[in-house]
Amino acid sequence: MELTSDIETRVERSGEAHIVYVEGEIRLPGAGDLQRVLATTLKVGRRVVLDLAGATVIDLAGLQLLCSAHRTSRAGPSPFELRAAPERLRNTARAAGFDARTLVCPYRRDGACLWKD
């Protein structure tokens, strides 16, 4: 069985931020591609905004990747935030237990969580 990636990313600089636009499926097959883009942008020292308006699906690997990027940003020079996450992705996150109201995350400090409503 061949796993194929169905994700496209585009990075734009806007003022003091890098905006990473995602189109398609944030799933295991494309997680490595998105991880490389996020790792590169999180090293720059500017705010990184992940725009999910074009994302259609997210799986557990994708959810873990977003949490990992958030953790990395908290330890480094670049703040990280989600923007325009479709309700279907937020519903998937909640169903998988990624919910700021109930999530027990050892890295969450000062109420900082990607999964706040």
Which helix (DSSP H) or strand (DSSP E) does residue 111 occupy? Answer: none
Give the three-state DSSP class for 49.
Answer: strand
Segment 11-31 mean pLDDT: 93
Q: DSSP E strands: which ranges in 2-108?
A: 7-14, 17-26, 47-58, 80-83
Pairing relationship of beta strands 17-26 and 7-14 according to DSSP bridges:
antiparallel
Domains of the chain and CATH, by start:
7-95 (3.30.750.24)
What global pTM score does this model have? 0.89
- Taking only the tens place, the pLDDT of each residue in 56-108 is 999 999 999 999 999 999 888 999 999 999 999 999 998 998 877 776 676 66
Confidence of residue 117 (pLDDT cuts 50, 70, 90): low
DSSP E strands in 15-46: the ranges are 17-26
CA pair distance 111, 38, nearest whole angstrom: 22
At 23, the amino acid letter reads: E
Q: How is residue 5 written in tokens?
A: 């990636």
What number is the average pLDDT over the span 42-50? 93
